[in-house]
């Protein structure tokens, strides 16, 4: 099998599995209790919190564990709204973008149903949002701006730092959130974490387990709890801690912190190699910015294309028969009949979007795998276009 769908999920690292195993077996204590086995669980959570914080240059006390990126995004939106409404008669206004993950877009729709005004900014043809677009949309009742760090479908890395600086120059009381699920552990986020109020991440995107995420909430930022009940996570997110998952998240973050430069270099090289080889296919369109040798504008491991004259789903099925795993876009929208909202937002026509495919690499992939996948894709496109 050649696995090229790492934006959907990643294979857990051996170090992650090894770290988790004791907490799935003998170390089963509830971290809220006071006896020794519970204290060991509590210590393990604290260690993981430090490891996850270190990856973005944050304080451990600003890391709050959740069930995943979707919960973190929901919490950022609904928590910000609940807190805003405590001291305002207006329902308020939020700014986000047309190409966000559905966890953001659905949260925005929910707030809209409560009376909140929502501005969804349209990106340019490469998927970029500008600071000026955000600035022009700010209103007196704006309480939240949320722009993703990197797009999960086309890999575009947004100028979050510049957007945050622009917002701060206009109003310092607007909360700034970024969905960094696709970027956490893939690129250096210390600069971004230093300028936003909240940041979402998920363990299974960087070799960690599924079902655990985090929301970074900068010290002093006020948002309401999303899950209410006990006093876990400093009273901000109730529920018995998922100790094995949290430990696994910490181990994955530690591994990413240690090897991020080498990871970026290898994935960028493999990405550009794949682009060069499939570029020989006639009528193939690259989605997102073309940045050969550079990872500042596009995620290192992201390849998104539209191939004219074919159905992308048919090509993916044929790739699967060859043992190659890829996708048509977001795993959360798999099976949707409508064209990708991201491709629509950047101006792809419906017939072009039908031929969309996303290949997302990891540093565990090899040049041989990349060459094989590109060759097979070229063969499959030829067959589909000839009707064979």
- What is the distance between the alpha carbons of residues 185 and 267, in angstroms, rounded to a whole number? 13
Backbone angles phi, psi at 335, to 5 degrees: 95, -10
CA torsion, ordered 290, 137, 152, 10, to nearest 10 deg: 130
CA distances to 129, 159, 164 from 74, rounded to whole Å, are 22, 22, 20
- What is the distance between the alpha carbons of residues 106 and 116, in angstroms, rounded to a whole number? 13
Tokens for 329?
């876009």
Q: Which residues are registered as beta bridge partners of 187?
A: 184
In the residue annotation, 332 being an active-site residue is answered as: yes
Single out the residue of 200, 182, 209, 225 nearest to residue 70, CA to CA.
Answer: 200
Selected catalytic residue, list 52, 195, 332, 375: 332
Q: Which residues are registered as beta bridge partners of 327?
A: 358
327: DSSP letter? B
- Inter-residue contact 212 to 245 (CB < 8 Å): yes
First to last CA, the chain: 24
Instruction: Kindly list the catalytic residues.
Output: 332
């Amino acid at each position: 099998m050649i696995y090229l769908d790492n934006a959907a999920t990643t294979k857990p690292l051996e170090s992650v599995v090894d770290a988790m195993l004791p907490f799935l077996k003998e170390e089963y204590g509830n971290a809220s209790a006071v006896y020794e086995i519970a204290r060991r669980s509590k210590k393990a959570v604290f260690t993981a919190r430090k490891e996850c914080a270190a990856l973005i240059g944050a304080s451990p006390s600003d890391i709050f564990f959740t069930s995943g990126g979707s919960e973190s995004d929901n919490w950022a939106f609904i928590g910000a709204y609940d807190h805003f409404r405590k001291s305002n008669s207006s329902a308020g206004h939020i700014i986000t973008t047309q190409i966000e993950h559905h966890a953001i877009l659905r949260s925005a729709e929910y707030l809209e149903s409560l009376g909140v005004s929502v501005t969804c900014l349209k990106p340019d043809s490469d998927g970029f949002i500008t600071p000026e677009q955000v600035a022009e949309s700010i209103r007196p009742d704006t309480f939240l701006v949320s722009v993703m760090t990197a797009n999960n479908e086309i890999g575009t890395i947004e100028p979050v730092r510049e957007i945050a600086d622009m917002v701060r120059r206009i109003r310092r009381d607007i909360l700034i959130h970024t969905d960094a699920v696709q970027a956490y552990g893939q690129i250096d986020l210390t600069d971004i974490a230093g300028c936003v109020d909240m940041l979402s991440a998920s363990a299974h995107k960087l070799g960690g387990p599924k079902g655990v995420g985090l929301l970074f909430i900068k010290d002093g930022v006020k948002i309401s709890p999303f899950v209410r009940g006990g006093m876990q996570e400093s009273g901000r997110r109730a529920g018995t801690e998922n100790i094995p998952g949290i430990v696994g998240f910490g181990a994955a973050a530690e591994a990413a912190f240690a090897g991020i430069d080498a990871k970026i270099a290898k994935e960028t090289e493999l990405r550009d190699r794949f682009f060069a080889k499939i570029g020989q296919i006639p009528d193939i369109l690259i989605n997102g910015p073309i940045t050969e040798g550079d990872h500042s504008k596009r995620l290192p491991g992201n390849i998104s294309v539209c191939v004219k004259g074919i159905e992308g789903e048919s090509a993916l099925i044929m790739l699967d028969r060859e043992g190659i795993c890829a996708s048509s876009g977001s795993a959360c929208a798999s099976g949707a009949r409508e064209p990708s909202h991201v491709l629509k937002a950047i101006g792809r026509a419906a017939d072009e979007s039908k031929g969309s495919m996303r290949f997302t690499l990891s540093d565990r992939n090899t040049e041989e795998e990349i060459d094989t996948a590109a060759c097979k894709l070229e063969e499959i496109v030829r067959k589909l276009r000839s009707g064979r």
